[in-house]
Amino acid sequence: MTFNYDSIMLKMFKIIKENNNNNNNNNKTTPRRKGHHLFNDLELELSSALVIATNKFIANKYDQLDLDTGELLIVTDWNYEDGWAFGHRKNNKEEKGKFPKVLVRICNKGDEELEGSSKNIITTEYKIKFEEKIENLRNSLEIENIETEILIHRKNLFNDAYDSIMNRSPNQLKNRLRIKYIGEEGIDTGGLLRDFFHNISKEIGNPNYSLFQYSSNNNSYELDVNPLSCVIDSNHLKYYRFIGRIMGLAIFHRQYLSINFSLIFYKKLLDKQLTFSDLEYVDPEMYKNIKWLKNNNGAENLCLTFALDTKDCFGNQKSIELKPNGANIEVTDSNKKEYINLIVKYKLNNTNDKKQFKALKKGFYEIVPSNKIHTLFNEVDLKYLLVGINEIDIDDWEKNTDYEGYKTNDITIINFWKCVRDFDNENRIKLLIFATGNSQVPVTGFKDLQGNGRITHFKLKNTGNLNDLPKSHTCFNRIDLPPYTSYTILKQKLLLAISEGVGSFSLE
């Protein structure tokens, strides 16, 4: 019998019930140790252990410790209280307290490799290391002081960009790029270039092109290569090479793409070997079932063989033998390790996207040096390098803002930052796009905000009269802000400006 989810789920539940009954019977003679929750006896005997928070926790008592999802901690007492462990942050022993055991798990090797760079927390230590990596890379990237003009119709952005970029050599694209939107006034001193990368990102992810699809992970809107792109368009490989160049150019010219790819995507771009944990992103249901099989006895009761039911690109059902005569070899507890290795290897290496990634990598590494990228960056680093972050730290933004004609204690400035704090995240991102032309922020924060190829802090300039709307100069990361004295008027004007003004450019 081949691996079929529906046919084995009931059997799995029966085995779970039997195992639970056995555990209950064992507990009658061997009582569970106090505080023994989720961790086995060996783990409880450890004097300290590295754990990772699986959920956010907000402390409501003085002796509790806040947790962020993905944060690493050192546990110093597993049995501090019933259901609670005691420990401190991995990088700060002074920040300590108790936290629920159910919200942490023992770290594995992969967690430590990506330390400080999980989806929901970026530590100061990680920022420092990441900044060093970027500096190392950029020392090898030299923009020639010659201009290459890219002519584009905004309404035909993808095709015009394809023609302009693919008809030029990699060396020409390493010159200083100047974007010219045909039929629009405006001189590109950096703002139009950022606008281009922001908008081409949307086109790359456009479902009408069928080049990418949403990841199998239902909890995200991350994109992966669409294996069926070859069916949709015979020229798909040329487009993937183009997209690879776009990605390389974004890094080379210090821009960000407003698009989210999965970590699997970045691992493949880096030619990194995929592991069992990556199966969760490729096939979450199979990952869950294989993980259960790995951690439980009773494989014989599932009636599995070394074969796998799957579908081809046209939806036709077929059976794949994982080894010779696999359909006649029963999976048992003694050989399930081999079975798991074979099924994981098959699922991770048969995703029908090898040609697409070959084209992507060809375009990408035509622009940026593969030796530097492979040596310096892991998949999380590469993600942050290419797309930055869109979680806005308002304190960091305010701290790294320059003023012209204003002081920090002027009522207009006080009201401006109050307004930003009162905005929801959607309006904060609109404001960021309005001011900078991009929705992303460097991982290292607003202190490294780019403008015209160099660090250019966000600026608020006192200009205009009270009837005017705020105006943006995205080339210089600047907002011209009239001296409104009323918070309500400032908020109304700013909301109108960021709603109406996104995508427009003022001449300097």
Q: Residues with catalytic annotation?
A: 475
Q: Is 256 exposed, middle or buried (0-12, 13-18, 19+ CB in 10 A)?
A: buried
Beta-ladder partners of 472: 479
- Residue 391 CB coordination number (10 Å): 12
Say how far apart CA 346 and CA 356 lie, in whole Å. Answer: 19
Distance CA 364, CA 136 (A): 19
The count of C-alpha atoms lying within 13 angstroms of the C-alpha of 24, restricted to the half-sphere facing its C-beta, is 6
Query: Which has the closest alpha carbon to 37: 87, 81, 99, 102?
Result: 102
Q: From CA 100, how far away is CA 346, in angstroms rounded? A: 38
Backbone dihedral angles phi then psi of residue 84, each to the nearest 5 degrees: -125, 140
Reduced to 3 DSSP states, what percent helix, strand and coil does the chain have, rounded to the nearest 5? 45, 20, 35
**CA neighbor of 392 nearest in space, from 430, 353, 356, 338:** 430
Q: What size, in residues, is the chain? A: 508
Query: Can you tell me which residue has the tokens 């699997």?
Result: 264
In this structure, are residues 506 and 437 in contact, taking their beta carbons and an 8 Å threshold?
no
The amino acid that residue 272 corresponds to is K
Could you tell me which residues are beta bridge partners of residue 99?
Answer: 85
Taking the C-alpha atoms of residue 24 and residue 92, their distance in angstroms, rounded to an integer, is: 40
* Residue of 273, 289, 345 whose CA lies nearest to 113: 273
Residue with tokens 């995507």: 265
Distance separating alpha carbons of residues 216 and 285, to the nearest angstrom:
9
Other beta carbons within 10 Å of 352: 14
10 Å CB burial of residue 476 (0-12, 13-18, 19+) is buried
Backbone dihedral angles phi then psi of residue 481, each to the nearest 5 degrees: -115, 110
Question: Contact 333/286 with Cβ under 8 angstroms?
Answer: no
**Measured CA distances, 290 to 4, 88, 374, 478 (Å):** 12, 33, 31, 53
How would DSSP label each residue in 433-457? Answer: HHHHS-S-B-TT-GGG-EETTEE--
Whole-angstrom Cα distance, residue 385 to residue 455? 16
Report the run of H or E that residue 387 belongs to, with start and end.
helix 379-387
